[in-house]
A and B are shown apart, each in its own frame.
Chain A
């Protein structure tokens, strides 16, 4: 449409100055077409502990995607800055490595900073906190139990003889590095494998896993915790034999 106008003007007025003017008009028309706002709706879980009698509810916000970054975290920050400063969520690195912005977006658990906003304007983006966790406020869950569970697996290398510590780098083979998922069990530098396995010998720690595999499907870093747990179960089955034969 703008191009056609340009051609017709050129035929009638061949002066270069007019050509420049109509180029500006074309540009104006193009930018005018681009600024038609693309409004996306976000339905976000809200709950305020300081408001007595408040019940969890969904609040809908409208964001113009033309004025917003591509990721869900960009939308959340925009909402907090411009529309509702009481919206509460965790965030830090904004590049998918720290894990602070983990939440449930459109039914799947991911990081808000690496999940692109679905540009289909007919759909509402649903944002919930991580499922089945106690909610501190809005999208912030209580993660202290999770951290305690991580502490309980003793996530550091343990050697039987600590006297050599600091003298030389503990090197690792390439094969070992490949198995980084269940890293504390199969790390050849760690000498407490038997004890680590023994600690899992109860009906709860390891055996509540029923191979549903939602964990691997949802991992935002492409890891496979389901496979790692299956490998640990295999190790549990064989280590007693090792002990018996020793």
Chain B
């Protein structure tokens, strides 16, 4: 649906009987399309710039970081990590020899220190809890709630605190 962008065409009407000095202009809208459409302008932009030697201004290297920005990329990172983890778990269940119990016995036989076991459990639980709590924050945003800047910082800190606490809780089980 390309809306015709109309251009006002000026037409001059002289009403002699009213007043000879007054020149009354009537503007009529007729179907005179504007020079370029938005799509054409975008195409011209890309053709012109990709064919030139113009540099792209720096972005990630110069933009100052903020908590909401870092948490957003963290949400994506943990999401990718969780998907990869679940896929790996599924694949190994399919392809590796032995069952879950035998693998659990293998890890127990390594006799790793309790500190190492705990921190490994924490490292596994944290992406899950962070992604879940930040996911709730995202759902609130989809409802249109909590999108003011101070609210963003408050909810962000709340998510981080909750994630750490729930990861500790899960790791202690």
Mark A residues whose CB is within 8 Å of B.
45, 47, 49, 55-56, 104, 106-108, 126, 128-136, 141-142, 144-145, 147-149, 151-152, 154, 195, 199, 210-214, 216-217, 224, 226-227, 230-231, 233-234
Stretch at the interface among B15-23, B46-54, B115-123: B46-54
Flag the segment in B56-64, B84-92, B103-111, B157-165 that touches A: B56-64
- Whether B147 pairs with A134 at a CB distance below 8 angstroms is no
Complex interface residues of chain B between 134 and 157 (CB less than 8 A to chain A): 138, 141-144, 147-149, 152
Given A107-B62, A142-B49, A152-B39, A227 and B147 touching (CB < 8 A)?
yes
Q: Are A49 and B54 in contact (CB under 8 A)?
A: yes
Closest chain-A Cβ to B47's Cβ sits at a distance in Å of 11
Are B56 and A142 within 8 A (Cβ)? no
Instruction: Return 18 A-B CB contacts under 8 Å, by A number.
Output: A55-B55, A104-B57, A104-B62, A107-B64, A126-B62, A132-B56, A133-B57, A134-B49, A134-B55, A141-B57, A145-B45, A151-B41, A211-B72, A212-B72, A213-B149, A214-B68, A233-B142, A234-B144
In the bound complex, what is the Cα–Cα distance between A114 and B152 (angstroms)?
24
| Residues in A whose Cβ lies below 8 Å from that of B138 | 211
Given contacts A149-B38, A213-B147, contact A142 B57 (CB under 8 A): no
The residue among A45, A199, A211 with the most chain B CB atoms within 10 A of its own CB is A211
Residue of B nearest to A143 (CB): B45
CB distance from B156 to the nearest CB of A (A): 10
Interface presence of B11 (CB below 8 A): no
User: What residues of chain B have their CB less than 8 Å away from a CB belonging to chain A?
Assistant: 1, 3, 37-39, 41-42, 44-46, 48-49, 52-59, 62-64, 66, 68-69, 72, 138, 141-144, 147-149, 152
A130-B57 CB under 8 A given contacts A151-B38, A212-B69, A217-B149: yes
In the complex, chain B residues whose CB is within 8 Å of the CB of A148: 38-39, 41-42, 45
Question: Which residue of chain A lies nearest to B145 when distances are taken between CB atoms in the complex?
Answer: A230
Contact of B142 among A106, A136, A144, A230 (CB under 8 A): A230
How far, in whole Å, are A226 and B72 apart by their CA atoms in the complex? 14
- Tell me, rounded to whole Å, the shortest Cβ–Cβ distance linking B57 to chain A: 4
Within 8 Å by CB of A144, from B45, B55, B141, B143, lies B45
A47 to B72, CA, bound (A): 33
Once the chains bind, are B44 and A134 in contact (CB under 8 Å)?
A: no
* Closest chain A residue to B49, Cβ basis: A134
Extra contacts, 8 of them, besides A133-B57, A211-B72, A214-B68 (Cβ < 8 A), are A49-B53, A107-B64, A108-B64, A145-B42, A148-B42, A217-B149, A224-B147, A234-B144
Residues of A within 8 A of B37 (CB): 151
CB of A132 within 8 A of CB of B57, answer yes
User: What 4 pairs between A and B have smallest CB-CB spacing?
Assistant: A107-B64, A131-B59, A148-B41, A152-B38
Task: Give Cα A130 to B37, complex, Å.
Answer: 25
Please report the C-alpha to C-alpha distance between residue A109 and residue B143 in the assembled complex, in whole angstroms: 28
Which of A131, A136, A151 contacts B58, CB < 8 Å? A131
Would you call A230 and B147 a contact (CB within 8 A)? yes
Please report the C-alpha to C-alpha distance between residue A141 and residue B59 in the assembled complex, in whole angstroms.
Answer: 13
Q: Output the nearest chain B residue to A233 by Cβ-Cβ distance.
A: B142
CB A199 to nearest CB in B, in angstroms, measures 8
Residues of A contacting B148 in the complex (Cβ-Cβ under 8 angstroms): 216, 224, 227
